[in-house]
Amino acid sequence: MKNELYSGAEYLNPGHVGCPGCGATIAMKLALRALGEHTMLVIPASCWAIIGGNYPQSSLKVPILHTAFATTAAAASGLRAALDLRGDRETTIVGWAGDGGTFDIGFQALSAAAERGEDFIYVCYDNEAYMNTGVQRSSSTPWGARTMTTPGDKWKRTYKKNIVEIMAAHRIPYAATASIAYPEDLERKLRKAASIRSGLRFIHLYSSCPTGWGFAPEHSVRVARLAVQTRAFPLYEVEDGTTYAINQAGDKPVREYLRTQSRFRHLSDEDIAQIQKYVDQEWKRLVRKAEEA
Amino acid sequence: MREVLEGSQAVAEAVRLARVKVISAYPITPQTHIVEELAKYCADGSLDGRFICVESEHSAMASVIGAESGGVRSFTASSSHGLALMHEMLHWAAGARLPIVMAEVNRALGPGWNLWVDQTDSLSQRDTGWLQFYCSDGQEALDTTLLAYRLAEILNLPIMVVMDAFFLSHTYEPVDVPSQADVDAFLPPYEPKFLMDTKNPYALDEVAPINVYMEMRRSIQMAMEAAPGIYQAIEDEFYTRFGRRYGLVEPYRCEDADIVFVTAGTAAATARVAVDTLRAKGERVGLLRLRMFRPFPAEAFRLGLAHAKKVIVLDRNCSFGAGGVFAQELKAALYGPEAPKLYSYVAGMGGRDVTVDTFSELFTMTRDQDEPPLGSVWYGVNEEMLRS
Ligand SMILES: Cc1ncc(C[n+]2csc(CCOP(=O)(O)OP(=O)(O)O)c2C)c(N)n1
Ligand code: SF4
Ligand SMILES: [Mg+2]
């Protein structure tokens, strides 16, 4: 059987400098397969600013506008306006930022663009910390994780922001989570986002990071799959900010996911029980929303 | 106690010794080691303070302003784009007359992204009302941080301790770490001159109408004018306690020098070697290292260059449309019929090497040229690339 997914064009050049097993690089490869050549990317400071390549080279076959850390959604808004004024409605603009560039420093610009109803896709590839600067916590870092700014016994004891709910609260036409371990689901969601041509579409893309999380590079996809299977990172989508649908079931204990990564190694059984409780509550809330729809 | 420390660790050590209470920072290469070290101190309890992991540099400076307004000694560190994003709050900190100390690691600004040393980031903050000190080794970074708290809290102005990306921030050197008791004796607990207080309620940083605004600005300028004198007195005390001093500018073999290099940061350490090399060949050359940049120590430069015939300024920065910043400022400070001829060179931006040979070559170029060109000469640029 011919696999649709692996037959098309590739937009990621070989020789990029992403770490071996980099989930964020897999994420881009899959996303561009779905979006195709009529795509322009806006990329802020992040690992992807480096993976994108050094002048005069580029690791991607589509145009990239590199931008300052806080500015992805604002720069994408300007670029969209320019294309519209030049009569180009064919090109899809994609803001492609890390969790730090989305949850933290870029959040103001993102929220404003969502409220204005800007026409672009915003992908937050989430590796749950500031990886490019050497693993410091972001507001996407999960409860329990150690980073360079949540070291030793001061590991992070606040929960990750629920960015999809925050974006859904802007009542944007489409918000969804996606994972590199579920390429069909990921590509379907990006195509769907591209087909909606009004308002901001938001994709929260789980991108495992062997370097920052502490696991062997060959396990990137396995770790990502476990995140979904344990409901630590559920796959779901939200239309118009209100209609929730869950795309993937999962029932494994969260311990199985946590135990794959050294950033969680210090957690005691009680800590893990607390995470399990949180995951269960969040899942219940999600199911309730999906049932309401 | 002598320890082998990275430049970043030397700064973090000074912050701990200064008993800083609030640290608020946002990571950016190559400043990260400073804040990671401080996060570690806060986590292991060796620093009794709070580390706020903010969501941007604008908020880092804003929260440090909040902390100082609340009456506690505070610290932040940044670099390059982070410093640029802070710009509004840098003005705010100075206008609010808060004695904040920050470490600033000189790194190039994008686009294109570049992590390496370049002084344009800090120099483009020169009009914000912050004092600036440029360090050239780890010991100096530690000492200057301690001196900075003492000076800032007298002047009620914020101070930037500036250090080169990687060449200083990431280089391990032996550093003499003073004891807590000695530092406590030198740097007394912070006594804010004003703070948020319900028993004495007044508003901070409120509207300043036409009849007071200019006086407020004038008082900042007056504090700047007083800074060199006060600094020297503090440094004298520092010297008696710790046996080290640096000055506003630091002369090296300048006494009989016809030609004097002026530069800052780690390039000055390289220039020092170049001076020795050239001296060995019989050239009468010296180095006057720029350390304090704001306020600009015009008097110290006038004195230091009184006998020089030519000055070679190496700027690792550029004010586009004007040229090297140190050269411009120095030219203005020396202006007059007695001024030595000033040769301005822009070099080493974005991390390009500045070597002993660089200085030797600049020396020969300058020695063999009677009149300096009007603007800055760019050294080490691939002209071929510019033509294509
Ligand atoms: C204004 C500003 N502050 C800080 C930085 C330094 N910086 C560059 S990338 C980065 C972290 C990016 O984290 P995230 O958005 O999660 O992307 P990741 O590197 O994890 O892929 C930081 C802090 C910067 N470039 N600009
Ligand atoms: S640090 Fe993580 S996200 Fe960054 S390139 Fe490496 S694997 Fe990818
Ligand atoms: Mg990240």
pLDDT over threshold 70, residue B319: yes
The model's pLDDT over B232-260, given as tens digits with 9 standing for 90+, comes to 999 999 999 999 999 999 999 999 999 99
Nearest to B67 by CA among B140, B186, B158, B146: B158
The pLDDT of residue A4 is: 55
Q: Which of A105, A133, A151 lies nearest to residue B56, judging by beta carbons?
A: A105
The distance in angstroms from the start CA to the end CA of chain A is 36
Number of neighbours of residue A165 by Cβ within 10 angstroms: 16
The pLDDT of residue A6 is: 57
Indicate which of B56, B61, B169 best probes the interface with A, i.e. most A CBs within 10 Å of its own CB. B56
Distance A138 CA to ligand 3 centre (A): 7
The model's pLDDT over B153-179, given as tens digits with 9 standing for 90+, comes to 999 999 999 999 999 999 999 999 999
The pLDDT of residue B275 is: 98
Print burial letters for B100-117: b (CB count within 10 Å at least 16), e (below 16). bbbbbbbbbbbeebbbbb
ipTM value for the complex: 0.94
The model's pLDDT over B24-81, given as tens digits with 9 standing for 90+, comes to 999 999 999 999 999 999 999 999 999 999 999 999 999 999 999 999 999 999 999 9
CB contact under 8 A, B55 and A49: no
Instruction: Quote the minimal CA–CA distance from A254 to chain B in Å.
Output: 27
Name every residue whose Cβ is closer than 8 Å to that of residue B293 and which is 6 or more positions away in sequence: B123, B126, B132, B133, B134, B162, B264, B326, B329
Whether B28 contacts chain A with CB within 8 A = yes
Give percent of chain B with pLDDT exceeding 90: 100
Residues paired with B132 in a beta bridge? B160, B294
Print burial letters for A218-234: b (CB count within 10 Å at least 16), e (below 16). ebbbebbbbbbbbbbbb
Whether B38 contacts chain A with CB within 8 A = no
Question: Is there an atom of ligand 2 within 6 Å of A100 CB?
Answer: no
Mean model confidence pLDDT for chain B: 97
Whether B371 contacts chain A with CB within 8 A = no
Nearest to B11 by CA among B44, B43, B45, B47: B47
The pLDDT of residue B199 is: 96
d(CA A260, CA A219): 9
Nearest to B230 by CA among B291, B172, B156, B284: B156
| Alpha-carbon distances of A200 from A37, A108, A197, B138, rounded to whole Å | 20, 14, 9, 49
Strand order in B285-290's β-sheet? B249-252, B285-290, B259-263, B310-315, B341-346, B377-378
Distance A25 CA to ligand 2 centre (A): 8
Q: Residue A49 belongs to a domain with what CATH number?
A: 3.40.50.970
**In chain A, whose CA is at the least distance from the CA of B42?**
A154
d(CA A108, CA B42): 29
Residue type, A101: G
The pair of structure tokens assigned to B71 is: 């009456």
Full domain range(s) for residue A60: 23-292
Q: Which of B28, B35, B40 lies nearest to residue A152, judging by beta carbons?
A: B40
Whether A27 maps to a domain, the answer reads yes
Q: What is the architecture of the domain spanning B2-242? A: 3-Layer(aba) Sandwich (3.40)
d(CA B9, CA B32): 11
CB A44 within 8 A of CB A99: no
Q: How far is CA B138 from the centre of its chain?
A: 13
Whether A165 maps to a domain, the answer reads yes
pTM: 0.96
Question: Is there an atom of ligand 1 within 6 Å of B315 CB?
Answer: no
Whether A5 maps to a domain, the answer reads no
CB contact under 8 A, B29 and A45: no
pLDDT over threshold 90, residue B388: no
d(CA A130, CA B46): 25
CB contact under 8 A, B27 and A107: no
Provide CATH code, domain B249-387.
Answer: 3.40.50.920
For chain A, the C-alpha Rg in angstroms (whole number) is: 18
Whether A42 maps to a domain, the answer reads yes
Whether A15 maps to a domain, the answer reads no
What is the SS3 assignment for chain A?
CCCHHHCCCCCECCCCCCCCCCHHHHHHHHHHHHHCCCEEEEECCCHHHHHCCCCCCCCECCCEEECCCCCHHHHHHHHHHHHHHCCCCCCEEEEEEECHHHHHCCHHHHHHHHHHCCCCEEEEEECCCECCCCCECCCCCCCCCCCCCCCHHHCCCCCCCCHHHHHHCCCCCEEEEEECCCHHHHHHHHHHHHHCCCCCEEEEEECCCHHHHCCCHHHHHHHHHHHHHCCCCCCEEEECCCEEEECCCCCCCHHHHHCCCHHHCCCCHHHHHHHHHHHHHHHHHHHHHHHHC
| Alpha-carbon distances of B370 from A272, B189, B263, B284, B340, rounded to whole Å | 76, 55, 21, 17, 12
Instruction: Quote the minimal CA–CA distance from A290 to chain B in Å.
Output: 32
**Alpha-carbon torsion B36, A26, A145, B64, what sign?**
positive
**In chain A, whose CA is at the least distance from the CA of B40?**
A151
**Total domain count for chain A?**
1
pLDDT over threshold 90, residue B100: yes
Whether A17 maps to a domain, the answer reads no
**Hey, where are the domains in chain B?**
2-242, 249-387
Residue in this structure with the two tokens 């901070």, named with its chain if needed: B204
The model's pLDDT over B133-142, given as tens digits with 9 standing for 90+, comes to 999 999 999 9
CB contact under 8 A, A148 and B111: no
Name every residue whose Cβ is closer than 8 Å to that of residue A52 and which is 6 or more positions away in sequence: A16, A43, A58, A59, A60, A64, A66
- pLDDT tens per residue across all 293 residues of chain A: 445 555 678 999 999 999 999 999 999 999 999 999 999 999 999 999 999 999 999 999 999 999 999 999 999 999 999 999 999 999 999 999 999 999 999 999 999 999 999 999 999 999 999 999 999 999 999 999 999 999 999 999 999 999 999 999 999 999 999 999 999 999 999 999 999 999 999 999 999 999 999 999 999 999 999 999 999 999 999 999 999 999 999 999 999 999 999 999 999 999 999 999 999 999 999 999 999 98
Instruction: Tally the residues of chain A.
Output: 293
d(CA A86, CA A65): 17
Whether B52 contacts chain A with CB within 8 A = no
Measured N-to-C along each axis, helices A23-35 and A183-195 cross at an angle, to the nearest 10 degrees, of: 50
Whether B81 contacts chain A with CB within 8 A = yes
